[in-house]
Structure 1
């Protein structure tokens, strides 16, 4: 065979191999075939995917992940999507004891309860209680809760009821709460 023909065949084979490899790199959607950083950057299309691919995550709230010149922000569920307070309603008159009710998604609870606290307008804690789930709390669905909250005599006419997401880890990033403003009746406490 002629050397020119052999080199032409080798050249065509090399071009086909290189072309096939380039197509493989561009069409690969699996982390096992990411050989170059540009592939990972191209594949990062959400916060979770960016973090899974090993790109740096900032410890801000909400967290952010940067892949090349793309930045993805973690989607944090709004508190209103996690807890609905039925009683007390905002700006109602309360006196001790009173019942708090509503529903919260399972992750709001820990061991079927979460703390509810009452504060005066100076920020002084007047009382607290653990609201108890009235059903299976190991779900992402809403679970009803109820608690009877007793508190000491307030020195202010306004206050706040705070429903805190139970946070056994103690990490500030996991802290969430809902605050309901209330008025104290003249004889708010019988303690």
Structure 2
């Protein structure tokens, strides 16, 4: 074999090993091992709101997007509040998810939220999507909480 063929083989093996590592690694999995990692619904369920791209226990950077669908009553004026709470209870990001369609319906409406941490933080946190409740009536409060792991870069 020529040196060129050997070099191509070594590079191919290295790329394959890197791909296997990338597909099987989960940077934040050490914290969640042995802990119950589930999405928690408060006065809500999967028939009210579904998050499409942020599974429980996922590792995110300090800026990330959240996509999903929520039924029209989850929104008020086509949006609802989103926050990220650090392990100690400190809010490290606040914002709103925006409807991507007609929200005045009982059906599911797609949403998107751009989340950007306002604090420097790395570690376990909770992504919380709140049902918009302009009345402030506690009986109408609802939310979905997703455990996540924030990695700085």
User: 1:78, CA displacement in angstroms?
Assistant: 4.2
Q: Distance in 2 between matches of 1:173 and 1:137?
A: 22
Q: Does 1:106 pair with 2:77?
A: no
Comparing both structures, which one devotes a greater share of its residues to strand?
2
Q: Distance in 1 between matches of 2:63 and 2:136?
A: 29
Q: Distance in 2 between matches of 1:88 and 1:94?
A: 9
Partner residue in 2 for 1:142: 108
Correspondent of 2:120 among 146, 149, 153:
153
Partner residue in 2 for 1:132: 98
Partner residue in 1 for 2:5: none
Structure 1 residues 113-128: aligned runs within 5 Å: 113-128=79-94
How does the TM-score come out when normalised to structure 1? 0.55
Partner residue in 2 for 1:174: 140
* RMSD over equivalenced CA pairs, Å: 1.3
When Rg is computed on C-alpha atoms for both structures, the one with the higher figure is 1
SS in 1 for 2:104: coil
In structure 2, runs of 5+ residues without a counterpart are 1-42
Q: Distance in 1 between matches of 2:59 and 2:77?
A: 31
Task: Indicate conservation of the 8 Å contact 1:79/1:176, yes or no.
Answer: no
- Assess, with a 3 A threshold, how the Cα gap between structure 1 residues 111 and 181 changes in structure 2: closer, same or farther: same
Structure 1 residues 35-50: aligned runs within 5 Å: none
Comparing both structures, which one devotes a greater share of its residues to helix?
1
| CA deviations over 1:34-66 (Å, ceiling 9, x no partner) | xxxxxxxxxxxxxxxxxxxxxxxxxxxxxxxxx
SS in 2 for 1:81: coil
In structure 1, runs of 5+ residues without a counterpart are 1-76
Q: Distance in 1 between matches of 2:85 and 2:128?
A: 8
Correspondent of 1:183 among 141, 149, 153:
149
Moved over 4 A (4+): none
